Structure 1
Protein backbone atom coordinates (compact mmCIF):
# COMPACT_ATOMS: atom_id res chain seq x y z
CA UNK A 1 0.00 0.00 0.00
CA UNK A 2 1.07 3.57 -0.58
CA UNK A 3 1.63 5.81 2.43
CA UNK A 4 -1.43 7.85 1.42
CA UNK A 5 -3.65 4.75 1.30
CA UNK A 6 -2.28 3.57 4.64
CA UNK A 7 -3.00 6.94 6.25
CA UNK A 8 -6.55 6.86 4.88
CA UNK A 9 -7.09 3.34 6.22
CA UNK A 10 -5.87 4.19 9.72
CA UNK A 11 -7.36 7.69 9.93
CA UNK A 12 -9.33 8.74 13.00
CA UNK A 13 -13.03 9.63 12.65
CA UNK A 14 -13.71 13.35 12.51
CA UNK A 15 -15.71 15.53 14.88
CA UNK A 16 -15.50 13.34 17.98
CA UNK A 17 -13.09 12.14 20.64
CA UNK A 18 -11.68 8.74 19.69
CA UNK A 19 -9.27 6.39 21.49
CA UNK A 20 -7.30 3.91 19.41
CA UNK A 21 -5.08 1.42 21.23
CA UNK A 22 -1.89 0.33 19.47
CA UNK A 23 -0.27 -2.92 20.63
CA UNK A 24 1.98 -5.71 19.44
CA UNK A 25 1.57 -9.28 20.67
CA UNK A 26 3.27 -12.59 20.06
CA UNK A 27 1.22 -15.40 18.51
CA UNK A 28 0.77 -16.90 22.00
CA UNK A 29 -0.42 -13.62 23.53
CA UNK A 30 2.70 -12.17 25.13
CA UNK A 31 3.00 -8.39 25.21
CA UNK A 32 6.79 -8.34 25.61
CA UNK A 33 10.09 -10.20 25.43
CA UNK A 34 12.53 -9.61 28.29
CA UNK A 35 10.19 -6.97 29.65
CA UNK A 36 9.99 -4.80 26.54
CA UNK A 37 7.63 -4.74 23.58
CA UNK A 38 10.58 -4.00 21.28
CA UNK A 39 11.41 -7.69 21.38
CA UNK A 40 8.30 -8.34 19.28
CA UNK A 41 8.85 -5.51 16.83
CA UNK A 42 9.30 -5.57 13.07
CA UNK A 43 9.57 -2.95 10.31
CA UNK A 44 5.83 -3.30 9.66
CA UNK A 45 4.97 -2.85 13.33
CA UNK A 46 7.26 0.18 13.61
CA UNK A 47 5.59 1.77 10.58
CA UNK A 48 2.13 1.40 12.09
CA UNK A 49 3.41 2.59 15.47
CA UNK A 50 4.84 5.76 13.94
CA UNK A 51 1.74 6.24 11.79
CA UNK A 52 -0.40 6.05 14.92
CA UNK A 53 1.56 8.96 16.32
CA UNK A 54 1.45 10.95 13.10
CA UNK A 55 -2.36 10.71 12.92
CA UNK A 56 -3.00 11.42 16.62
CA UNK A 57 -3.29 14.60 18.67
CA UNK A 58 -1.82 13.01 21.80
CA UNK A 59 -0.17 9.79 23.00
CA UNK A 60 -1.67 8.31 26.17
CA UNK A 61 0.51 5.94 28.18
CA UNK A 62 0.90 4.61 31.71
CA UNK A 63 3.85 5.56 33.90
CA UNK A 64 5.01 1.93 34.11
CA UNK A 65 5.40 1.78 30.34
CA UNK A 66 7.23 5.13 30.31
CA UNK A 67 9.76 3.76 32.80
CA UNK A 68 10.11 0.28 31.24
CA UNK A 69 10.40 1.49 27.65
CA UNK A 70 12.49 4.61 28.33
CA UNK A 71 10.00 7.00 26.76
CA UNK A 72 11.26 10.30 25.44
CA UNK A 73 9.16 13.33 24.70
CA UNK A 74 7.77 14.40 21.34
CA UNK A 75 10.42 15.64 18.90
CA UNK A 76 8.75 15.63 15.46
CA UNK A 77 8.30 18.78 13.36
CA UNK A 78 4.75 19.26 14.64
CA UNK A 79 5.11 17.68 18.07
CA UNK A 80 2.25 15.99 19.84
CA UNK A 81 2.29 15.80 23.63
CA UNK A 82 2.78 12.60 25.61
CA UNK A 83 0.10 12.22 28.31
CA UNK A 84 1.18 9.97 31.18
CA UNK A 85 -1.18 8.40 33.70
CA UNK A 86 0.24 7.87 37.18
CA UNK A 87 -1.77 7.31 40.35
CA UNK A 88 1.28 6.94 42.59
CA UNK A 89 3.53 9.74 41.39
CA UNK A 90 6.45 7.62 40.18
CA UNK A 91 7.78 10.20 37.72
CA UNK A 92 10.83 12.36 38.32
CA UNK A 93 11.98 15.47 36.40
CA UNK A 94 15.25 13.85 35.25
CA UNK A 95 13.47 11.34 32.98
CA UNK A 96 14.02 11.69 29.19
CA UNK A 97 10.27 12.24 28.94
CA UNK A 98 10.90 15.70 30.42
CA UNK A 99 14.51 16.42 29.46
CA UNK A 100 14.38 15.32 25.80
CA UNK A 101 11.22 16.84 24.36
CA UNK A 102 10.06 19.79 22.29
CA UNK A 103 6.68 20.06 24.01
CA UNK A 104 5.88 19.65 27.72
CA UNK A 105 4.21 16.32 28.56
CA UNK A 106 0.84 16.08 30.28
CA UNK A 107 0.85 14.23 33.59
CA UNK A 108 -2.56 12.89 34.69
CA UNK A 109 -2.48 11.99 38.35
CA UNK A 110 -4.32 12.03 41.68
CA UNK A 111 -4.61 14.31 44.67
CA UNK A 112 -2.90 11.63 46.79
CA UNK A 113 0.16 11.30 44.54
CA UNK A 114 3.35 12.81 45.88
CA UNK A 115 5.55 14.01 43.05
CA UNK A 116 8.32 16.56 42.83
CA UNK A 117 7.62 19.62 40.67
CA UNK A 118 7.58 18.55 37.03
CA UNK A 119 8.01 20.54 33.79
CA UNK A 120 4.59 19.35 32.63
CA UNK A 121 0.91 20.20 32.40
CA UNK A 122 -0.26 18.39 35.55
CA UNK A 123 -3.92 17.31 35.61
CA UNK A 124 -5.60 16.08 38.80
CA UNK A 125 -8.19 13.45 37.85
CA UNK A 126 -9.23 11.75 41.07
CA UNK A 127 -8.33 11.44 44.75
CA UNK A 128 -6.70 7.99 45.12
CA UNK A 129 -7.13 6.51 41.64
CA UNK A 130 -7.10 8.23 38.26
CA UNK A 131 -10.61 8.68 36.87
CA UNK A 132 -9.99 7.84 33.22
CA UNK A 133 -13.26 9.41 32.09
CA UNK A 134 -12.00 12.68 33.54
CA UNK A 135 -8.60 12.09 31.94
CA UNK A 136 -10.09 11.69 28.46
CA UNK A 137 -12.38 14.68 29.01
CA UNK A 138 -9.39 16.82 30.07
CA UNK A 139 -7.50 15.86 26.91
CA UNK A 140 -10.54 16.68 24.78
CA UNK A 141 -10.89 20.04 26.54
CA UNK A 142 -7.36 20.82 25.35
CA UNK A 143 -8.38 20.05 21.76
CA UNK A 144 -6.69 16.63 21.87
CA UNK A 145 -9.46 14.44 20.46
CA UNK A 146 -7.46 11.80 18.56
CA UNK A 147 -5.92 9.73 21.35
CA UNK A 148 -3.25 7.11 20.63
CA UNK A 149 -3.20 4.67 23.57
CA UNK A 150 0.20 2.95 23.64
CA UNK A 151 0.08 1.04 26.91
CA UNK A 152 0.59 -0.55 29.16
CA UNK A 153 -1.67 -3.54 29.70
CA UNK A 154 -3.08 -2.27 33.00
CA UNK A 155 -4.07 1.11 31.56
CA UNK A 156 -5.49 -0.55 28.44
CA UNK A 157 -7.54 -3.01 30.49
CA UNK A 158 -8.94 -0.29 32.72
CA UNK A 159 -9.78 1.88 29.71
CA UNK A 160 -11.66 -1.08 28.19
CA UNK A 161 -13.54 -1.64 31.46
CA UNK A 162 -14.59 2.03 31.43
CA UNK A 163 -15.82 1.80 27.81
CA UNK A 164 -13.26 4.33 26.62
CA UNK A 165 -11.48 2.35 23.88
CA UNK A 166 -13.00 2.75 20.44
CA UNK A 167 -10.53 0.80 18.30
CA UNK A 168 -7.53 -1.51 18.47
CA UNK A 169 -4.61 -1.76 16.08
CA UNK A 170 -2.93 -5.08 16.85
CA UNK A 171 0.27 -6.35 15.29
CA UNK A 172 0.59 -10.13 15.59
CA UNK A 173 4.26 -11.09 15.69
CA UNK A 174 5.10 -14.56 14.30
CA UNK A 175 6.83 -15.83 17.45
CA UNK A 176 5.99 -17.94 20.50
CA UNK A 177 7.33 -15.93 23.44
CA UNK A 178 6.13 -18.23 26.28
CA UNK A 179 7.53 -16.88 29.60
CA UNK A 180 5.48 -15.01 32.17
CA UNK A 181 4.84 -11.75 30.32
CA UNK A 182 1.44 -10.08 30.53
CA UNK A 183 -1.23 -10.15 27.84
CA UNK A 184 -1.96 -6.84 26.10
CA UNK A 185 -4.79 -5.98 28.52
CA UNK A 186 -5.48 -6.91 32.11
CA UNK A 187 -7.53 -5.29 34.83
CA UNK A 188 -11.10 -5.37 36.13
CA UNK A 189 -13.26 -8.32 35.13
CA UNK A 190 -15.86 -7.10 32.64
CA UNK A 191 -18.13 -8.76 30.08
CA UNK A 192 -16.31 -9.41 26.78
CA UNK A 193 -16.27 -6.40 24.49
CA UNK A 194 -17.28 -7.22 20.91
CA UNK A 195 -14.99 -6.09 18.10
CA UNK A 196 -15.56 -5.76 14.37
CA UNK A 197 -12.59 -6.57 12.12
CA UNK A 198 -11.95 -3.52 9.91
CA UNK A 199 -8.88 -4.62 7.97
CA UNK A 200 -6.05 -7.17 7.76
CA UNK A 201 -2.65 -6.39 6.26
CA UNK A 202 0.28 -8.75 5.93
CA UNK A 203 3.99 -8.16 5.56
CA UNK A 204 5.91 -11.44 5.34
CA UNK A 205 4.66 -13.40 8.38
CA UNK A 206 3.50 -10.35 10.36
CA UNK A 207 -0.24 -9.61 10.55
CA UNK A 208 -1.53 -6.07 11.08
CA UNK A 209 -5.11 -6.16 12.38
CA UNK A 210 -7.54 -3.26 12.80
CA UNK A 211 -10.60 -3.66 15.01
CA UNK A 212 -13.40 -1.29 15.99
CA UNK A 213 -15.57 -1.70 19.08
CA UNK A 214 -18.97 -2.81 17.82
CA UNK A 215 -20.98 -0.15 19.62
CA UNK A 216 -18.59 2.71 18.74
CA UNK A 217 -20.10 5.41 16.56
Structure 2
Protein backbone atom coordinates (compact mmCIF):
# COMPACT_ATOMS: atom_id res chain seq x y z
CA UNK A 1 0.00 0.00 0.00
CA UNK A 2 1.40 3.36 -1.02
CA UNK A 3 1.81 6.13 1.56
CA UNK A 4 -0.71 8.96 1.50
CA UNK A 5 -0.07 12.61 0.74
CA UNK A 6 -2.23 15.71 0.66
CA UNK A 7 -1.76 17.98 -2.35
CA UNK A 8 -2.60 21.68 -2.48
CA UNK A 9 -3.95 21.87 -6.03
CA UNK A 10 -4.63 25.33 -7.43
CA UNK A 11 -5.09 24.20 -11.01
CA UNK A 12 -2.12 26.22 -12.24
CA UNK A 13 0.92 25.08 -14.16
CA UNK A 14 3.14 24.48 -11.13
CA UNK A 15 0.56 22.60 -9.09
CA UNK A 16 -0.19 20.44 -12.14
CA UNK A 17 3.43 19.30 -12.27
CA UNK A 18 3.42 18.85 -8.49
CA UNK A 19 0.33 16.63 -8.87
CA UNK A 20 2.07 14.47 -11.45
CA UNK A 21 5.15 14.19 -9.22
CA UNK A 22 3.20 13.26 -6.10
CA UNK A 23 1.17 10.67 -8.01
CA UNK A 24 4.36 8.72 -8.76
CA UNK A 25 4.93 7.75 -5.15
CA UNK A 26 1.82 8.55 -3.14
CA UNK A 27 -1.90 7.98 -2.86
CA UNK A 28 -2.93 11.59 -3.36
CA UNK A 29 -5.67 13.51 -1.57
CA UNK A 30 -6.08 16.73 -3.53
CA UNK A 31 -7.30 19.91 -1.85
CA UNK A 32 -8.52 22.97 -3.77
CA UNK A 33 -9.57 26.37 -2.48
CA UNK A 34 -12.12 28.72 -3.97
CA UNK A 35 -11.45 31.97 -2.15
CA UNK A 36 -13.19 34.63 -4.20
CA UNK A 37 -10.50 34.86 -6.88
CA UNK A 38 -11.52 36.28 -10.24
CA UNK A 39 -11.07 32.98 -12.05
CA UNK A 40 -12.58 30.88 -9.27
CA UNK A 41 -14.86 28.74 -11.45
CA UNK A 42 -12.17 28.02 -14.04
CA UNK A 43 -9.55 27.15 -11.43
CA UNK A 44 -11.96 24.74 -9.71
CA UNK A 45 -12.76 23.00 -12.99
CA UNK A 46 -9.05 22.76 -13.83
CA UNK A 47 -8.10 21.40 -10.41
CA UNK A 48 -10.89 18.82 -10.51
CA UNK A 49 -9.77 17.57 -13.94
CA UNK A 50 -6.08 17.52 -12.98
CA UNK A 51 -6.95 15.44 -9.91
CA UNK A 52 -8.88 13.02 -12.10
CA UNK A 53 -6.20 12.73 -14.79
CA UNK A 54 -3.38 12.20 -12.29
CA UNK A 55 -5.33 9.54 -10.41
CA UNK A 56 -5.97 11.31 -7.11
CA UNK A 57 -7.71 9.14 -4.54
CA UNK A 58 -9.95 11.99 -3.45
CA UNK A 59 -10.60 15.60 -4.44
CA UNK A 60 -11.85 18.02 -1.81
CA UNK A 61 -12.95 21.49 -2.93
CA UNK A 62 -13.20 24.01 -0.11
CA UNK A 63 -14.67 27.50 -0.23
CA UNK A 64 -13.62 30.34 2.05
CA UNK A 65 -14.76 33.96 2.09
CA UNK A 66 -11.93 35.48 4.11
CA UNK A 67 -9.86 36.95 1.28
CA UNK A 68 -12.78 38.41 -0.63
CA UNK A 69 -14.01 40.16 2.51
CA UNK A 70 -10.55 41.37 3.52
CA UNK A 71 -9.67 42.61 0.02
CA UNK A 72 -6.29 44.15 -0.61
CA UNK A 73 -5.44 41.96 -3.59
CA UNK A 74 -6.22 42.38 -7.28
CA UNK A 75 -7.20 38.71 -7.35
CA UNK A 76 -10.03 39.09 -4.83
CA UNK A 77 -10.90 42.81 -4.78
CA UNK A 78 -12.84 44.07 -7.81
CA UNK A 79 -11.79 47.65 -7.06
CA UNK A 80 -8.13 46.76 -7.77
CA UNK A 81 -7.33 46.09 -11.43
CA UNK A 82 -5.16 43.16 -12.45
CA UNK A 83 -2.10 44.88 -13.91
CA UNK A 84 -0.28 43.90 -17.08
CA UNK A 85 3.15 42.42 -16.53
CA UNK A 86 6.03 44.93 -16.69
CA UNK A 87 7.33 45.65 -20.18
CA UNK A 88 10.71 44.38 -19.01
CA UNK A 89 10.19 40.77 -17.96
CA UNK A 90 13.28 40.96 -15.75
CA UNK A 91 11.37 43.39 -13.53
CA UNK A 92 8.89 40.67 -12.51
CA UNK A 93 9.50 39.63 -8.92
CA UNK A 94 11.54 42.67 -7.91
CA UNK A 95 8.74 43.81 -5.62
CA UNK A 96 5.57 42.20 -4.29
CA UNK A 97 2.75 42.95 -6.75
CA UNK A 98 -0.91 43.80 -6.07
CA UNK A 99 -1.87 40.24 -7.05
CA UNK A 100 -0.37 39.00 -3.77
CA UNK A 101 -3.14 37.64 -1.52
CA UNK A 102 -2.11 38.43 2.08
CA UNK A 103 -0.75 35.33 3.86
CA UNK A 104 -2.88 33.09 1.62
CA UNK A 105 -0.73 29.97 1.66
CA UNK A 106 -0.83 29.76 5.45
CA UNK A 107 -4.59 29.22 5.26
CA UNK A 108 -4.22 26.60 2.53
CA UNK A 109 -1.46 24.74 4.35
CA UNK A 110 -3.33 24.77 7.65
CA UNK A 111 -6.30 23.03 6.06
CA UNK A 112 -4.01 20.60 4.23
CA UNK A 113 -2.21 19.65 7.46
CA UNK A 114 -5.54 19.18 9.22
CA UNK A 115 -6.70 16.81 6.48
CA UNK A 116 -3.34 15.03 6.52
CA UNK A 117 -3.79 14.28 10.21
CA UNK A 118 -7.23 12.80 9.54
CA UNK A 119 -6.28 10.60 6.56
CA UNK A 120 -2.91 9.54 7.96
CA UNK A 121 -0.76 11.39 5.40
CA UNK A 122 2.76 12.35 6.40
CA UNK A 123 3.44 14.64 3.45
CA UNK A 124 1.73 17.76 2.12
CA UNK A 125 2.76 18.85 -1.37
CA UNK A 126 2.49 22.39 -2.71
CA UNK A 127 3.81 23.72 -6.02
CA UNK A 128 5.45 26.84 -4.63
CA UNK A 129 8.18 28.36 -6.81
CA UNK A 130 10.70 31.02 -5.83
CA UNK A 131 12.57 31.59 -9.10
CA UNK A 132 10.90 33.12 -12.18
CA UNK A 133 7.93 34.08 -10.04
CA UNK A 134 6.08 37.19 -8.89
CA UNK A 135 8.06 37.37 -5.64
CA UNK A 136 5.30 36.41 -3.23
CA UNK A 137 6.73 36.13 0.32
CA UNK A 138 4.78 32.91 1.00
CA UNK A 139 6.61 31.12 -1.83
CA UNK A 140 10.10 31.29 -0.29
CA UNK A 141 12.00 28.32 1.19
CA UNK A 142 12.36 29.98 4.61
CA UNK A 143 8.56 30.25 4.82
CA UNK A 144 8.14 26.50 4.46
CA UNK A 145 10.97 25.73 6.84
CA UNK A 146 9.20 27.84 9.45
CA UNK A 147 5.85 26.20 8.69
CA UNK A 148 7.37 22.75 9.16
CA UNK A 149 8.59 23.79 12.60
CA UNK A 150 5.07 24.97 13.40
CA UNK A 151 3.65 21.60 12.32
CA UNK A 152 6.10 19.77 14.58
CA UNK A 153 4.87 21.79 17.54
CA UNK A 154 1.18 21.97 16.70
CA UNK A 155 0.12 18.51 15.51
CA UNK A 156 -0.55 15.32 17.45
CA UNK A 157 2.39 13.30 16.12
CA UNK A 158 4.48 16.16 14.75
CA UNK A 159 5.65 14.10 11.80
CA UNK A 160 3.84 15.76 8.89
CA UNK A 161 6.07 17.71 6.51
CA UNK A 162 5.42 20.23 3.75
CA UNK A 163 7.20 19.27 0.52
CA UNK A 164 8.02 21.91 -2.11
CA UNK A 165 9.70 19.91 -4.89
CA UNK A 166 9.61 22.75 -7.43
CA UNK A 167 10.67 25.65 -5.26
CA UNK A 168 14.24 25.94 -6.60
CA UNK A 169 13.40 25.26 -10.27
CA UNK A 170 13.04 27.78 -13.06
CA UNK A 171 9.67 27.85 -14.77
CA UNK A 172 11.15 26.41 -17.97
CA UNK A 173 12.58 23.50 -15.95
CA UNK A 174 9.12 22.93 -14.49
CA UNK A 175 7.65 22.77 -18.00
CA UNK A 176 10.29 20.24 -19.08
CA UNK A 177 9.67 18.15 -15.98
CA UNK A 178 5.93 18.28 -16.60
CA UNK A 179 6.36 17.10 -20.18
CA UNK A 180 8.55 14.25 -18.94
CA UNK A 181 5.92 13.26 -16.38
CA UNK A 182 3.00 13.63 -18.77
CA UNK A 183 1.44 16.38 -16.63
CA UNK A 184 -1.94 17.48 -18.06
CA UNK A 185 -0.98 21.06 -18.93
CA UNK A 186 -3.90 21.24 -21.36
CA UNK A 187 -6.42 21.43 -18.51
CA UNK A 188 -4.37 23.69 -16.22
CA UNK A 189 -5.07 27.42 -15.83
CA UNK A 190 -2.77 30.22 -14.74
CA UNK A 191 -4.39 33.46 -15.92
CA UNK A 192 -5.37 35.97 -13.25
CA UNK A 193 -8.35 37.43 -15.12
CA UNK A 194 -9.63 35.32 -18.05
CA UNK A 195 -11.74 32.18 -17.71
CA UNK A 196 -12.43 31.32 -21.37
CA UNK A 197 -9.17 32.53 -22.86
CA UNK A 198 -6.02 33.43 -20.93
CA UNK A 199 -5.26 37.14 -21.24
CA UNK A 200 -1.59 36.66 -22.14
CA UNK A 201 -0.55 39.94 -20.49
CA UNK A 202 -0.83 39.45 -16.70
CA UNK A 203 2.33 38.40 -14.84
CA UNK A 204 1.16 34.81 -14.49
CA UNK A 205 0.48 34.47 -18.22
CA UNK A 206 3.75 36.14 -19.19
CA UNK A 207 5.77 33.88 -16.89
CA UNK A 208 3.98 30.81 -18.19
CA UNK A 209 4.41 31.75 -21.84
CA UNK A 210 8.09 32.50 -21.30
CA UNK A 211 8.55 29.14 -19.59
CA UNK A 212 7.05 27.22 -22.50
CA UNK A 213 9.05 29.29 -24.98
CA UNK A 214 12.34 28.69 -23.15
CA UNK A 215 11.52 24.99 -22.82
CA UNK A 216 10.97 24.79 -26.56
CA UNK A 217 7.33 23.84 -26.18
CA UNK A 218 3.89 25.17 -27.07
CA UNK A 219 1.43 26.09 -24.33
CA UNK A 220 -1.73 24.08 -25.09
CA UNK A 221 -4.25 26.42 -23.46
CA UNK A 222 -6.12 29.16 -25.42
CA UNK A 223 -4.91 32.75 -25.29
CA UNK A 224 -6.79 35.86 -26.34
CA UNK A 225 -6.11 36.87 -29.92
CA UNK A 226 -4.29 33.76 -31.05
CA UNK A 227 -5.12 30.18 -31.94
CA UNK A 228 -2.21 28.70 -30.01
CA UNK A 229 0.46 30.24 -27.85
CA UNK A 230 4.09 29.40 -28.36
CA UNK A 231 5.35 32.87 -27.50
CA UNK A 232 4.25 36.06 -25.81
TM-score by length of 1: 0.33
Structure with the greater relative contact order (CA < 8 A, sep ≥ 6): 1 or 2? 1
TM-score by length of 2: 0.31
**Which structure is higher in helix share?**
2
**Which structure is higher in strand share?**
1
